[in-house]
Amino acid sequence: MEQYEPPQSPAQLAAMHRSLRNGRGSLTRRSLLRAATTGALAAGGLGALSACGIPAAGKGQGDVSSEDHSATEKRLTFSNWTEYMDVDEKDKNRRPTLAAFTERTGIEVKYTEDINDNVEFFGKIKPQLAAGQDTGRDLICVTDWLAARLIRFGWVQKLDAANLPHAYTNLSSQFRDPDWDPGRAYSYPWTGISAVIAYNKKATGGKKVTSVSQLLDDPKLKGRVGFLSEMRDTVGMTLLDMGKDPADFSDDDYDAAIARLQKAVDKRQIRRFTGNDYTSDLAKGDIAACVGWAGDIVQLKADNPDIDFHIPDAGYITSTDNLLVPNKARHKSNAERLIDYYYEPEPAARLAAYINYVCPVDGVRDSLAKIDKGAASNPLIIPDKEMKEKSRAFRSLTPKEETAYEEKFAKLTGV
């Protein structure tokens, strides 16, 4: 049975380029806010992918596992994003939690930071997956919408729950049942990525900013408001403010959210739509308030006491980056052991202390407090019960919906 994936529209390609330039696909992790200079990302394979779009994907090769060599080959290869793993401050080539895993298990981890963008990475691995071949990777980390696509095509292996006792027990209820992988049969979250309201108290005259409505309508913020260039985050937050559920909305609901944002654009309430480059403008006060990513805000707030955040009563959007085992991976059991290891409280705490994104592991607070008391008490890293209840996910989109929605969003943002 063929699963048709239509060629990417100009709007989708523009969204991909935005992500490569300055969205979560660029250097949005810990290094960005610490670095004095920026670096260009290599977009290998991007031209070919852009020229022809993503062709139809056959499911005939789906769910093709291979003989597991984990027992005799004590190794695995793990592809991840840049700055998404704890690093020894004295030896930048050493990753303490990975080193501890190898010391305990004898399993050597070849760790590569070769994911700059979801679409670009999909372009790298798609030919092998479509042909039923080994990608050379045992474990990958991709954002929820791409994880959903890989699962839909049958290109990743179902995980063995027997190898994941800590993951099964300690996974936060907030992330247990996404619509694209009910019960987490194929994936486990590496981290959560929340979109919240952030503001510069000095720029707002000490006034709190507490809702998307305030961002869109408060005349005192006119021309100094930012929204994200990631469609799911900006539209999802707007849908919530309008009383709609991002997990269950119609085309009309989406159009109403776009119209609401367009009104704010037309009256020049919104300064611009940005990727993570909003951080410098927010720190300087050029942007007084915005929708921003929680991991960025944690780090900004640590360096600048004028930065603060608010979780709207209407709720907020959380997406996930997720661990999956591709078809034909040679070391599936080893990969599952590594997934499970990062659901133990101590390794999970060390990771959370370094990357500052939402920790998907329950029971880490005490371990994290030993490393960083501030992080342990920060609801943007360890959400409390009230915050968990306000978290919402943007529902999975059909290929047709994604094309239509990205086109409308591109028209709104002008990029």
Question: Any idea where the domains of the chain sit in the sequence?
Answer: 75-185+325-343, 193-318+399-413
- Res 64: pLDDT: 55
Same CATH topology for 75-185+325-343 and 193-318+399-413: the answer is: yes
The pLDDT value recorded for residue 67 is 87
- Beta-strand ranges (E) seen in 37-102 are 57-58, 75-81
* Weakly modelled stretches of the chain, pLDDT under 70: 1-65, 415
* pTM of the predicted protein model: 0.83
CA-derived radius of gyration, the chain: 21
Residue 26, pLDDT score? 41
Structural class in CATH, domain 193-318+399-413: alpha beta
- Which pLDDT score is estimated for 117? 83
Alpha helices in 23-117 (DSSP H): 30-34, 46-52, 96-105
Q: How far apart are CA 252 and CA 286, in angstroms?
A: 34
Residue 52 pLDDT: 37
For 371, what's the count of Cα atoms within 13 Å in the CB-facing half-sphere?
A: 19
| Strand ranges inside 170-326, DSSP E | 188-200, 225-228, 270-274, 289-293, 307-310, 316-324
**Domain spanning 75-185+325-343: which CATH class is it, in words?**
alpha beta
pLDDT value of position 60 = 40
Each residue's pLDDT tens digit, 95-143: 999 999 999 999 999 999 999 888 889 999 999 999 999 999 999 999 9
Characterise 116 by phi-psi region: left (phi > 0), alpha (psi -120 to 50), beta (else).
Answer: alpha
* pLDDT of res. 39: 30
As separate numbers, helices (DSSP H) first and strands (DSSP E) second, the chain gives 18, 12
What does the pLDDT look like over 361-376, one tens digit per residue? 999 999 999 999 999 9
